[in-house]
Amino acid sequence: MKILILTNYANGLYLFRKELLQALTKDGHKVSVSLPPDENEDKLKDLCEVIETPFDRRGMNPFQDAKLFFSYLKLLRKQKPDVVLTYTIKPNLYGALACRIKKVPYLCNVTGLGTAIEGGGLLSKLLLIFYRISMKGAQRVFFQNMRNRDFMNRNGIAVENNVLLPGSGVNLTEHPLREYPPQDKRIRFLAVIRIMKDKGIEEYLEAARIMRSRHKNVKFYLVGEYEEEAREHYEPQIEKLAEEKIIKYYGHIDNVEAVMAKSHVIVHPSYHEGLSNVLLEAAACGRPVLASDISGCVETFVEGESGFAFAIKDTDALVNAMEKVLALSHEERRQMGIAGRAWVEKNFDRNRIIETYQNEIKELKNKRR
């Protein structure tokens, strides 16, 4: 079959779904991916055909979004796919609607609801109507946590054609259990987040300042690229903390696991998630986690056994969670990491997600016969 994938970010597809691309190609399907051009798209070119479809991932210009919708219609006419897989908000809305109009079978994956929907108001109501229309014709809509699924179902979206997936899962071979690092007089906290408000960067930076003023034996790492609209606000703060040797900022790096392996605790202060890949990878390599008490995070660990949850948008709650894990012995933290590994092995093997997609595509193939 000819499979077309619509998404908004090359690196996200490569990091969390390359195994799916490989499996579909191995099954004999021809796979193409449509996404906005960026410096990461070359990573995909050995796995599938890459089609550049420019659009602003975060912009809300109706004229630009209409242009994207017509680009998808044109792409469907040209590619004539047998099935389309959509990921992230704009492909799920405009790509799915284009598929419904063109009567092309499609599978949607809701990787998160986003601020526009969760914030409520008129925009949220309009988006929910749009989702209801675009996803009505989907063969399947995948949700990554129960809260998102229940919220959308209450609003009449994908009520009868949904499936709950354990996020993108984690590749347990690529992310093996790593030896827990010695304390070396320093306990290292790490956050792997895009630099933007909704990922909790403000709380992490402030918590780092507070904790360093209390404890000289803590160090804070930060990995992630800036969202351009947030750079002007946060870059000076991060540079100042780096100069003061409170934070070590790595920027965007491909091999996050190298930094994760030498960290003692992973922190994820995000405001909303589909299901956090960072937390899955942290648990896979055997690191205790501190995470926002929200759906999309709390599923990835067992409270008190492999991690601690804290209230979102609350620096004091994050600091208290850091104090809690700091009060543990080195061996207790190591054992939390081992418990986290056991949890993801049991519940989040990426092969389960691949098999789900393969089964859906087989079902479509059988319908065509």
Helices (H), 80-138: 89-90, 96-102, 115-118, 121-135
**Whether pLDDT at 61 is above 90:** no
Q: Does 213 reside within a domain? A: yes
What's the mean per-residue pLDDT of the chain? 94
pLDDT value, residue 62: 81
pLDDT band at 369 (very low <50, low <70, confident <90, very high): low
Q: Which of 116-120, 246-250, 342-346 has the lowest mean pLDDT?
A: 116-120
> Do 159 and 207 lie in a common domain?
no
Residue 314 lies in a domain: yes
Whether the per-residue pLDDT at 368 is higher than 80: the answer is no
3-state SS class at 300: helix
103 plus 162 within the same structural domain: yes
340 shares a domain with 207: yes
Which residues, including other chains, have CB under 8 Å from residue 24's CB and lie 6 or more apart? Answer: 3, 31, 357, 358, 361
In a domain, 174, yes or no: no
Estimate the share of the chain in helix, then strand, then coil, as percent rounded to the nearest 5: 50, 20, 35
Cβ density class 105-144: b for 16+ within 10 Å, e for less = bbbbbbbbbbeebeeeeeebeebbebbeebbbbbbbbbbb
Cβ–Cβ < 8 Å for 367, 33: no
* In a shared domain, residues 228 and 293: yes
Sorted by sequence, the CB contacts under 8 Å of residue 199 that are 6+ apart come out as 193, 224, 269, 270, 271
Asked whether residue 147 is domain-assigned, the answer is: yes
Residue 297 lies in a domain: yes
In a domain, 181, yes or no: no
Rg over alpha carbons for the chain, rounded to the nearest Å, is 21
Question: Per-residue confidence at 112, pLDDT binned at 50, 70, 90?
Answer: confident
Q: What is the pLDDT of residues 156-186, one digit of tens each?
A: 999 999 999 999 999 999 999 999 999 877 8
Q: Which strands form 247-251's sheet, in the order they lie side by side?
A: 247-251, 218-223, 187-192, 265-268, 289-292, 307-310
Query: Cα dihedral angle (204, 208, 209, 212), rounded to 10 degrees?
Result: 170
pLDDT in tens, 191-235: 999 999 999 999 999 999 999 999 999 999 999 999 888 899 999
- 319 and 228 within one domain: yes
Question: In this structure, are 96 and 68 located in the same domain?
Answer: yes
Domain count, the chain: 2
Q: In angstroms, rounded to a whole number, what is the distance separating the alpha carbons of residues 236 and 225? A: 14
Q: Are residues 210 and 253 in the same domain?
A: yes
Q: Looking at the structure, do residues 113 and 254 belong to the same domain, yes or no? A: no
Residues 199 and 149 reside in one and the same domain: no
- Within a domain: 179: no
Are both 107 and 250 inside the same structural domain? no
Asked whether residue 163 falls in the same domain as residue 202, the answer is: no
> Domain range spanning residue 122?
2-169+349-368
Alpha-carbon distance 307 to 151, whole Å?
26
Output the six-digit token pair for 78.
């040209």
Q: How far apart are CA 308 and CA 209, in angstroms?
A: 20
Are 218 and 297 contained in the same domain? Answer: yes
Q: What is the pLDDT of residues 120-145, one digit of tens each?
A: 788 889 999 999 999 999 999 999 99
Print the SS3 string covering 211-229.
HHHHCCCEEEEEECCECHH
In a domain, 180, yes or no: no
Kindly tell me if the per-residue pLDDT of 42 is higher than 80.
Answer: yes
The pLDDT of residue 27 is: 96
At 362, which CATH number? 3.40.50.2000
Average pLDDT over residues 264-278: 95
